[in-house]
Structure 1
Amino acid sequence: MTAAGNAEQTKVRILEAAMDEFSAHGIAGARVDRIAKRVGCNKNLLYIYFVNKETLFNTVLERSLTRVYEEIEFTEDDLPRYATAVFDFAMSHPDLMRLLLWSSLEQDANRVTARAEAWSGKMRALSSEAADGSDGSGFRAGFLLTSIMALATAWSAISPFGPTFDPDAADDTDRLREDVRKAVTLLASEAKTDPHR
């Protein structure tokens, strides 16, 4: 293997170890020496590749979110389908959900370029859908999208509600997924029936 290939492999291993460390401890609590020890490299190498701990955190988050945006297509014309896809991803990736929580607690969400760009794109799509009158919704795009994301992630690892107040529901993810689909369907259809909202 070439030196460049070796370096790329090491970077990937660092990012994987950093994902575990950051999702468990956040930015402030994470320790670069623990990441380096797990990878089996000198911690100075982490600084050579990623400059500082915050850059490493943002790289891990951007990399993870890019994967999410590639795997989950936003379908403004089928919001229940989108919501169930987000639900499935949130339930099966607790480490990423914790990483998002740490990002929200410890830094400005708009610093994460992939996240801000994805949100803006979804907002434009929803606003465009509403502007042409095809959905008849009186909900603002931001309220609708936030509500969908809240419903879809309510039983994920980061939610203070679903896992705490209704922990048994997570034992039947098929039913929960269907409940999310129905709730988003009702949200969208209720908005259509009352254009004065």
Structure 2
Amino acid sequence: MRAAGEATRERILAAAVGEFAEYGFAGARINRIAAQARASKDRLYAYFESKDDLYAAVTARWVAETVGEAALSAADLPGYAGRLFDSFLTHPRNLQLQMWIELESPDVLHRPGHYRDAWENKLTEIRRGQAEGVIDPSWHASDLLLILTDVPRTLASAVLLAEKRAGENLAALRASRRAAAVEAARRLTTNAAALSQTRR
């Protein structure tokens, strides 16, 4: 793809991220995306065959950014929580996209695609940690992953909301909320390790 064509595709993707993050899949409009990207609808459809195709590309990029910045390691769940918190603040639209998926398509984990693949890879890592005694096997892997996702996301959302208000010490708030996310994951890990020891 030539440079001009790649630039157009990138503008379309960037506009689509904003549109889907703001309105979800159902509320997003192709004409608004095309206008924001300074491209015709025909031009948009030359790169993406349908709204579904465009949404899949947006989801793939969001998942790649999150996985790249917040890889999950069974040996370092606190680190994962901290990195995920950072990623949500760096890419707030990704946070919104995830919330929309859960609202509009709660069955998305059962569909083939980047989101399900990333989720399954994380579950595999958690189960590996459970098998190796790093993580308490009494946890259901899906429940634990939900907690490890929702705590950083909720805390990051609170920071993003606070940024819209005047008079907040945002640096201190970011630091304290990040520390809370890390500590929550640490306590889960520490308690699990202690519980495993008592069971031996």
TM bracket (short chain)? 0.7 to 0.9
Q: Can you give the 5+ residue segments of structure 1 that lack an aligned partner in the other structure?
A: none
Show the counterpart of 2:116: 116
State the match for 2:143 in structure 1.
Answer: 143
* Alignment match, 1:76: 74
Partner residue of 1:45? 43
Aligned to 2:150, the other structure's residue is in SS state helix
Give deviations 1:84-117, integer Å, cap 9, x for gaps: 0001111232211111122222234233622211
Structure 1 residue 82: Cα displacement: 0.6
Q: Give the conservation status (yes or no) of the 8 Å contact 1:80–1:184.
A: yes
Please say if residues 74 and 134 of structure 2, whose CA atoms lie closer than 8 Å, have aligned partners that are also in contact: no
1:175-194 correspondence to structure 2 within 5 Å: 175-194=176-195
1:89-108 maps to which residues of 2 (within 5 A)?
Answer: 89-107=87-105, 108=107
Q: Distance in 1 between matches of 2:57 and 2:145?
A: 25
1:37 is paired with a residue of what secondary structure?
Answer: helix
Q: Is the 8 A contact 2:85 2:152 kept in 1?
A: yes
Match of 2:128 in 1: 128
Q: Please tell me the root mean square deviation across aligned C-alpha atoms, in Å.
A: 2.5
Q: Would you say the 8 A contact 2:12–2:44 is kept in 1? A: yes
Query: What's the TM-score, normalizing by structure 1?
Result: 0.84
Give the TM-score, by structure 2 length: 0.83
Identity %: 29
2: CA distance, partners of 1:79 / 1:66: 19
Deviations 1:34-54, CA, capped at 9 Å, x for gaps: 111122221112122211112
Bigger drift between 51-60 and 105-114 goes to 105-114
Matched pairs, number: 189
Q: CA deviation at 1:137?
A: 4.4
1:169 Cα offset (Å):
9.7
Moved more, 16-25 or 126-135: 126-135
Letter in 1 for 2:60: E
Which sits farther off after the overlay, 111-120 or 39-48? 111-120
Determine if contact 1:169/1:176 at 8 Å carries over to the other structure: no
Change (3 A) 1:112 1:68: farther
What SS does structure 1 have at the residue aligned with 2:24? helix
Instruction: Give the gaps of 5 or more residues in structure 2.
Output: none
